[in-house]
Amino acid sequence: MATQQYKAWSVVIASTLAFTTCFMIWMMFAVIGIPIKAALHLNETEFGILVATPVLTGSLIRLPLGMWTDKLGGRTVFFILMLSTVIPIYLISRCTEYWQFLVTGLFVGIAGGSFTVGIAYCARWFPKSQQGLAMGIFGAGNTGAAVTKLVAPLIVVAYGWAMVPQVYAVLMTVMAILFWLFTYSDPAHKVGKTVSIGEQLATLKDPRVWKYSQYYSIVFGGYVALALWMTKYYVSEYGFGLKQAALMAAAFSIPGGVLRAIGGYFSDKYGAHTVTWWVLWVSLVCLFFLSYPQTDVTIATVSGLRTFHVGLNAFWFTVIMFGMGIAFAIGKASTFKYISDEYPHNIGVISGVVGMAGGLGGFLLPIMFGALLDLTGVRSSCFMLMFGIVWVSLIWMYWTEVRPVKVGRHLERIAGKEIAAYK
């Protein structure tokens, strides 16, 4: 008979592989959307809507999935979710009209809801001191975005874009079966049957939940949005072909997934607040440099007019994106460490709310990227938008977390001096 420790790690490994597959499928329009855009003659806003459509349903369904996970158990919900996407994935290969891609994309997007199921399912198998690591390992399934960027272009070049959803439909079926064979259920992980939906949702009144949602809309929503947008960005900004552009874009996606486990470890060791605070500052600095558009400056000198070019070349752009990918990976884990610390008995619902907010960020941002590009003609406007969002989050964190701690310490020092004087 399998030990509890064996079951726990088997659940984490199988769930991580399943989530990686789901994320591959959730992100596939980042690659196949480029030839579809060319075939249908889409503008930038229409392309943004196309790649973001699966993210919409994958976000909105996270809250009910979190509630069902608490009630029914993660194994059952995860398995049903995976099987429900197989047919819609295949049907994408049969689409010929823009609206058809949008409709099938909505159904395929359900795969993105797997995060909320898996994060609660895995966390409950471990003690509190290891939950950050367990959730970080599971969250490494975000690497599926990078896997798609490495695998899908090869399929597109060899067999055409329609082969990608056909291959992915088979892959999802196989992974669903393997997941069921190598995972376990524990009735103790379910909430009581007497717990009502209203009681589950009562925590939505807690302002901390919405603050954590804001953080996650950056580190996850921004990650998803840029993972969808970067392949096309490299094609348009630097003139790369599809395969090379996808490979360069993977430099952001890979650390954004793989290093999430390290973020979980740091969060267990140093605390969610400290890690998230530094993640947001690093992200802000990276976005400052990424926001600057390609610029030619002409100045008058004693020897005549001279023109200087200011802007990131492909190498430095990729290096900074890699650094921001590391920050986002650590931040995704630290945000959920807040949840496991403060809501240990309601992880499914809270992770559903926060995950939904992050997913909605991943849905809205690509559309806003496209609209800003159509409006301004400046490709780096997507980074300007994210710079502003991160700055707002840092201000919010300062006033709700950093400043109260400083005030508390100051009052403690004053009280200590008064006690000493009294003595």
Q: Which domain holds residue 280?
A: 4-189+207-422
Q: Model's pTM, two decimal places?
A: 0.73
- Out of 158-162, 297-301, 417-421, which region has the weakest mean confidence (pLDDT)? 417-421
Tell me the helix, strand and coil percentages in the chain, rounded to 5.
85, 5, 15
Cα separation, 345 vs 174, in Å, equals 33
Q: How many domains does the chain have?
A: 1
C-alpha to C-alpha distances, 242 to 35, 65, 141, 256, nearest whole angstrom: 9, 35, 24, 21
Q: At 304, which helix (H) or strand (E)?
A: strand 304-310
- Residue-wise pLDDT for 27-86, tens only, equals 899 899 999 999 999 998 899 899 889 988 888 888 888 888 878 888 999 999 999 999
Assess if residue 99 is contained within a domain. yes
- Residue-wise pLDDT for 203-222, tens only, equals 667 778 888 888 888 988 89
401-422 burial code (b ≥16 CB/10 A, e <16) = beeeeeeeeeeeeeeeeeeeee
Amino acid at 34: I
Cα separation, 246 vs 369, in Å, equals 18
- Residue-wise pLDDT for 106-157, tens only, equals 999 999 889 889 888 888 888 877 877 888 788 788 788 888 988 999 999 8
Average pLDDT over residues 324-328: 92
Residues above pLDDT 70, as percent of the chain: 90
Q: Please give the residue that has the higher pLDDT: either 198 or 361.
A: 361
Q: Which residues touch 328 (CB under 8 Å, ≥6 apart)?
A: 218, 219, 220, 222, 223, 256, 279, 283
Assess if residue 304 is contained within a domain. yes
Assess if residue 194 is contained within a domain. no
Is the pLDDT at 201 greater than 80, yes or no?
no
Assess if residue 227 is contained within a domain. yes
Assess if residue 197 is contained within a domain. no
Assess if residue 384 is contained within a domain. yes
Please answer whether residues 60 and 362 qualify as being in contact, where contact means their C-beta atoms are separated by less than 8 angstroms: no
Model pLDDT, residue 278: 92
pLDDT band at 409 (very low <50, low <70, confident <90, very high): low
Assess if residue 213 is contained within a domain. yes
Model pLDDT, residue 168: 96
DSSP string, 332-351: HHHHHHHHHHH-TT-HHHHH
Assess if residue 199 is contained within a domain. no
Find the CATH number of the domain harbouring 51: 1.20.1250.20
